[in-house]
Amino acid sequence: MRLSKMHLRTLREVPNEAEIPSHILLLRTGMIRKLVSGVYGFMPLGWRSVRKIEEIIREEMDRAGGQEIHMSAVQPAELWQESGRWFAYGPELWRLKDRNGRDFCLGPTHEEIFTDIIRSDVSSYRQLPVNLYQIQTKYRDEARPRFGLMRSREFIMKDAYSFDRDQEGLDKSYQEMYDTYERIFTRCGLTFRPVEADTGAIGGSNSHEFTALSEVGESEIAYCEACDMAATVERAACVDAPATEEAELPTEEVHTPGTKTIEEVADFLGIPQTKTMKALLFVTYDEEGKENGYVAAFVRGDRELNMTKLVNALGIPEHSIEFADEEKMGAATGCVGGFTGPVGLHDCTIVADSELPGLKNLCAGACKVDYHMKNVNYGRDYKADIVTDIKTLKEGDPCPVCGAPVKHARGIEVGQVFKLGTKYSESMGAIYKDENQKDQLIVMGCYGIGVTRTLAAIVEQHHDENGIIWPVSVAPYHAIITVMKPEDEVQAQTAERIYKELMDAGVEVLLDDRKERPGVKFKDADLLGIPVRLTVGRGAPEGKIEYKLRRDAEKEELSVDEGIARAIRLINSEK
């Protein structure tokens, strides 16, 4: 492709809306174009890279036995109501009505559609297993779209669904997809880590998130260097503090004026924060958005509440809970903002972190303004409706597997695999007949890759102050020929020869034949991040060109033949 003919508009200035490198660079290179908040189109160079990521995915999915289909993004509400997700998915589900008032949604995912296909088409164990996938545009009505392709309202996703006759079959399908994902992200040039993850609105039992390591990532992961433990912070289990070996002392109400925070209480009473308990107060809502009861969650004072664990413990959708109005909740339950403890609470669901029953003589709020209660003990002074791990695993905490201190890192979720089990087949009646002609539920798995998020993650990991540094496998073009003076006949002829020979060898080439200053051309070449740059300039009459890799600072003067051969070898070895 000749740059003089290409629709290309690069920007020298950083767009005001862009905050992270991938967003900045994809806009500056003209690879994406914003339509409205959270909705982007792809221009020629950007679309070429998207298609290359898709092709890597197709090759690896087909290699693993997946079969590609393509379903509509418009889905009838009836299927989502059948699975129970019409309400459970929350406000991110993009709902709409047709002219007859019938409810639809723009699909963020396709479990219901694929389950409907299989329940209609599969009747016997002989037809299983099946793995169907698609690469398609998805929609999620994000409240705060940001970071360009990272959190957008329209995005391209590969979603696959496996259908097996039993758990053993699912385990095999899940491992096949896990291995396939490792190959896909390796070929895309990403540094990534698979971690245990929460299943969220998709549901099911087990899940792994494939996280591209990046400081700008929205996922926080906890990992252990002493063993293989790695999980998202939302999913990571915590080790309870050892049970306290001390006698239970009588409760004592103490005056603690103006001490609403754990730090203030501990300082005022001269006790460590580990001897305190803190409360977090919530209200829940039903499917119609009406208040459905109050929740008081208790953790040790120095701990942080893990909202995902709390929601899972309550068995409710994440969007159906929020912090309570303390005065309103106080009138109904006896709580007091800043001074709430478990003793005396009523008419609310009490959730206690799993380590609290083993700790003795803790200080908690007295449910009375400016008062706390010392020596509160589980069992004697209060009981909880639910006792489970609801705390966050912090950096330096003991690993739940081996006990070594854990570390934290940030990353970008580029893919996730789920063991759905019979969640959808049970609610939607997806069954098959076994060898004895008995009805059995089909066992399902779900496997997603954010194609456009993967594009952004690649840019996050592969850039410098001058622009993008594309891995060869996903670069929009493999090589760029920069002609210093296109009007010079020798330079023009040399460039044309290189252009033709590279294309004949299967190399995708840009020829910068624009009548621009050399400095502009070099800046654009670095900004666009094309892996190999061949510069035709003063050495052309002697058959010399400049050879440079975008990822390296060094450049070499080579003969035209050696420059062409070197480029072909490198590209064939890495694409």
Q: What is the pLDDT of residue 205?
A: 61
Q: What is the pLDDT of residue 69?
A: 98
Closest CA to 176 of 60, 57, 64, 58: 64
Return the H-helix or E-strand segment holding 67: strand 67-68
pLDDT tens-digit profile of 128-150?
A: 999 999 999 999 999 899 899 99
Give the β-pairing of 407-421 and 431-433.
Answer: unpaired
Work out the number of other CB atoms within 10 angstroms of the CB of residue 158: 23
Residue 199, pLDDT > 70, answer no
Closest CA to 418 of 150, 199, 175: 199
Residue 459, pLDDT > 60, answer yes
Work out the number of other CB atoms within 10 angstroms of the CB of residue 261: 12
pLDDT tens-digit profile of 51-89?
A: 999 999 999 999 999 999 999 999 999 999 999 999 888
d(CA 345, CA 336): 10
pLDDT tens-digit profile of 493-539?
A: 999 999 999 999 999 999 999 999 999 999 999 999 999 999 999 99
pLDDT tens-digit profile of 527-570?
A: 999 999 999 999 999 999 999 999 999 999 999 999 999 999 99
Return the H-helix or E-strand segment holding 560: helix 560-574
Mean pLDDT value of segment 230-257: 93
pLDDT tens-digit profile of 303-313?
A: 999 999 999 99
d(CA 481, CA 47): 21
β-bridge partners, 382: 378
End-to-end CA distance of the chain: 19
Mean pLDDT value of segment 101-113: 96
Establish how many alpha carbons lie within 13 A of residue 364's alpha carbon, considering only the half-sphere containing its beta carbon. Answer: 32
Q: Is the dihedral of CA 401, 402, 408, 410 positive or negative?
A: negative
Q: Which residue has the tokens 């905490």?
A: 397
* Inter-residue contact 418 to 207 (CB < 8 Å): yes
Q: What is the pLDDT of residue 309?
A: 94
Q: What is the pLDDT of residue 207?
A: 87
Report residue 15's pLDDT band, with 50, 70 and 90 as the boundaries.
confident
Q: What is the pLDDT of residue 310?
A: 96
Tokens coding 44: 């020629």
Percent of the chain with pLDDT over 90: 90
Q: What is the pLDDT of residue 203?
A: 52
Q: Which residue has the tokens 């952004």?
A: 456
Q: Name the average pLDDT for the chain.
A: 94
Residue 202, pLDDT > 60, answer no
